[in-house]
């Protein structure tokens, strides 16, 4: 398989070093999974030679060096970088980071470096990579980390959505930092990000937000993160329509305060009070509830208990997700933050299942009402409940989502960005 026909006659494959802030086998998260999927897809191509480099804790390396191999795989390198300043998102030890980058790039000899997330390394990774490697740097933007100190979510610490960064407002969210410090945080991040040749944004929404914030918009390419090739939609076919029995909706992903699982459970409680038993069922697929604050955990557990047998809860392995999705009628994505391009939406599309999602950010961009699914007002359990009731009653017809681009087609799109970044130098 050739991903870049224009380079067909190149003497050797394009060497790509993908830097991820984690290895999905060691830390679960959408961005890690996206990075590994890209790596695996590139690896299957004849004209690209990728190396996957994932940030890891020193304990995962098994020794006190800075690098190690994941399960002995020579093209999957684990990297234990120095700690970062979580406010500035820069390394506490840039000199040491530079030494590590020199070692790494001498080893991987890349033609291009694709940073899938700088969060675990610090944004000063970009100028260091550019200076040491002297190769084009491509960076995928995931959430709004550079814009927002609140885990990059652009959600106020009090819970409301944040529409734009404003230093004084940021200082209100985090009183330990003056607005002047937020100004400096931004100057430094912009300075670091100036070393990036091309940014990839999986959604136009995210690209526009970063453009408004200060990144040169013409350097941001909107391109979806490819799923693993095994999730090729044509291989899965469209989801079979079940007849009779309850309407089954599914939530897939992390149980964290930003994902809106509480909104979904509240909506279910409203729906349940209006419908006969057995009319609707909710499958909660996911985990990591245990790592959150006790109050959040207790609130979720209490709602699940109140819903009784209408909720079925289980963890899942990522390989199973398409099969699990095909067993539900709708996938619900109730996130209360803007999201970018949730992997769960891509997976639902690959599974051929319609999506009922919040009407904000990358979610509303990815789901076209009536075609791929439906929107509801973000954070509004009552509106979600109304939509669910309409689905159960048949008032809302379940759409048949069209087949999306395949992972290989999306991967070729990424390689096109590499080619463009190299050509622009």
Partner 1 sequence: MTCSVHRAILLADRLILLGVGLEGTLPDRVDVSIPDSAELQLPVVAQSAVSIAISRFATQAGHEAGDDSRVAFMSAVRLPHDLARTLITEGETIACRLVRGGVEIAAAELECEPMGAFLPYLAIELQLLSVEAERSDPPLGLFLKTLSDPASARPADFRIDFYSLVVDAGLIAHGWAANAGAGTSFFLLADCRLLVPDDQVAFNARPDVSADIHRKGGMEETRLHGVTIFEAIPGAPDNIQLIAKRADGIFRSAPVPLDPRQFARILNELHGPIPLPEQIRIASSPVFQKVVAGFTRTAEGTLRSFGPSRPAELTVILPFYRDDFFMLDHLASQRRVTVPAEFLFVSDDPELTQPMIAAIQSRGSDLVLPTRLLALSENVGFGAAVNYALRQVETDYAVIMNSDIYWSRFDPVAYAVGLLKAEPDVGVVGFRLYFEDGTVQHAGMELKPSSELGGLMVAVHPGKGLRPAAPVRGPVTHREVEAVTAACIVVRRGDFPDGLFDPGYVGGDFEDADLCMRLKRQGRRVMLVESDAIFHLERQSIRASAGHRFLTVMNCVRFNQTWF
Kindly state whether residue 174 participates in binding partner 1, applying the rule CB under 8 A.
no
| Of 14-22, 133-141, 150-158, 182-190: span binding partner 1 (CB under 8 A) | 182-190
Kindly state whether residue 93 participates in binding partner 1, applying the rule CB under 8 A.
yes
Would you report the helix, strand and coil content of the chain in percent, each value rounded to 5?
A: 40, 20, 40
Q: Quote the least distance from Cβ 84 to partner 1, whole Å.
A: 12
Task: Output the 3-class SS for 97-149.
Answer: HHHHHHHHHHHHCCCEEEECCCCCCCCCHHHHHHHHHCCCEEEECCCCCCCCC
| Kind of pairing between the strands at 112-115 and 247-254 | unpaired
Cα 89 to Cα 164: distance, rounded to the nearest angstrom? 19
Q: Which of 107, 179, 371, 393 binds partner 1 (CB under 8 A)?
A: 179
> Between residues 96 and 242, which has the closer beta carbon with respect to partner 1?
96
Q: What is the DSSP string of 208-230?
A: HHHHHHTS-GGGEEE-PPPPPGG
> Between residues 58 and 180, which has the closer beta carbon with respect to partner 1?
180
Q: Are 400 and 279 in contact (CB under 8 A)?
A: no
Q: Which of 5, 46, 69, 95 binds partner 1 (CB under 8 A)?
A: 95
Q: Quote the least distance from Cβ 324 to partner 1, whole Å.
A: 46
Distance in Å from the first CA to the final CA of the chain:
27
Q: Quote the least distance from Cβ 91 to partner 1, whole Å.
A: 8
Q: Are 90 and 98 in contact (CB under 8 A)?
A: no
Q: Which of residues 137-166 bind partner 1 (CB under 8 A)?
A: 166
Kindly state whether residue 178 participates in binding partner 1, applying the rule CB under 8 A.
yes
> Dihedral sign, CA of 115, 116, 119, 123?
positive
Kindly state whether residue 292 participates in binding partner 1, applying the rule CB under 8 A.
no
Q: Are 165 and 213 in contact (CB under 8 A)?
A: yes
Q: Quote the least distance from Cβ 186 to partner 1, whole Å.
A: 9
Partnered with residue 356 across adjacent β-strands are 332, 374
> Between residues 180 and 402, which has the closer beta carbon with respect to partner 1?
180
Kindly state whether residue 214 participates in binding partner 1, applying the rule CB under 8 A.
no
Q: Which of 15, 43, 181, 313 binds partner 1 (CB under 8 A)?
A: 181
Q: Are 354 and 398 in contact (CB under 8 A)?
A: yes
Q: Are 136 and 114 in contact (CB under 8 A)?
A: no
Size of the site for partner 1 (CB under 8 A): 23
Class of residue 43 by CB neighbours under 10 A (exposed 0-12, middle 13-18, buried 19+)? middle
Q: Quote the least distance from Cβ 87 to partner 1, whole Å.
A: 9
| Of 104-112, 178-186, 252-260, 371-379: span binding partner 1 (CB under 8 A) | 178-186
Q: Quote the least distance from Cβ 409 to partner 1, whole Å.
A: 41
Q: Which of 7, 44, 161, 184 binds partner 1 (CB under 8 A)?
A: 184
Q: Which residues bind partner 1 (CB under 8 A)?
A: 85, 88, 90, 92-96, 98, 166-168, 171, 178-184, 187-188, 191
């Amino acid at each position: 398989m050739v991903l870049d026909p224009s380079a067909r006659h190149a003497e050797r494959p394009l060497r790509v070093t993908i830097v991820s802030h984690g290895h999905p086998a060691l830390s679960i998260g959408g961005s890690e999974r996206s990075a590994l999927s890209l790596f695996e897809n590139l690896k299957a191509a004849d004209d690209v030679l990728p190396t996957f480099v994932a940030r890891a804790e020193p304990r995962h390396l098994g020794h006190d060096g800075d690098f190690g191999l994941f399960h002995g795989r020579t093209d999957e390198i684990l990297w234990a970088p120095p700690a970062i300043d979580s406010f500035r998102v820069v390394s506490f030890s840039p000199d040491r980071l530079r030494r590590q980058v020199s070692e790494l790039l001498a080893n991987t000899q890349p033609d291009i470096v694709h940073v899938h997330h700088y969060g675990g390394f610090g944004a000063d990774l970009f100028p260091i990579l550019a200076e040491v490697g002297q190769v084009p740097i491509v960076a995928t933007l995931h959430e709004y980390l550079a814009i927002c100190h609140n885990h990059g979510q652009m959600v106020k610490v009090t819970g409301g959505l944040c529409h734009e960064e404003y230093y004084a407002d940021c200082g209100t969210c985090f009183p330990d930092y003056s607005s002047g410090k937020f100004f400096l945080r931004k100057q430094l991040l912009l300075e670091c990000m100036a070393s990036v040749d091309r940014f990839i944004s999986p959604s136009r929404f995210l690209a526009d937000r970063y453009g408004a914030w200060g990144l040169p918009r013409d350097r941001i390419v909107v391109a979806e993160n490819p799923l693993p090739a095994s999730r090729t939609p044509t291989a899965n076919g469209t989801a079979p329509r079940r007849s009779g029995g309850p309407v089954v909706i599914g939530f897939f992903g992390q149980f964290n305060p930003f994902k809106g699982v509480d909104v979904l459970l509240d909506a279910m409680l409203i729906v349940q009070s209006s419908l006969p038993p057995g009319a609707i069922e909710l499958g909660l697929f996911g985990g990591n509830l245990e790592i959150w604050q006790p109050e959040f955990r207790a609130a979720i557990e209490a709602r699940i208990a109140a819903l009784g047998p209408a909720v079925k809860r289980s963890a899942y392995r990522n390989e199973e997700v398409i099969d699990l999705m095909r067993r539900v009628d709708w996938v619900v994505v109730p996130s209360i933050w803007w999201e970018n391009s949730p992997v769960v939406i891509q997976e639902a599309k690959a599974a051929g299942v319609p999506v009922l999602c919040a009407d904000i950010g990358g979610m509303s961009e990815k789901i076209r009402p009536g075609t791929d699914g439906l929107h509801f007002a973000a954070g509004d359990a009552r509106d979600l409940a109304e939509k669910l009731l309409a689905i159960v009653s048949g008032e809302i017809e379940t759409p048949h989502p069209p087949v999306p681009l395949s992972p290989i087609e999306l991967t070729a799109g990424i390689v096109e960005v590499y080619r463009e970044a190299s050509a622009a130098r």
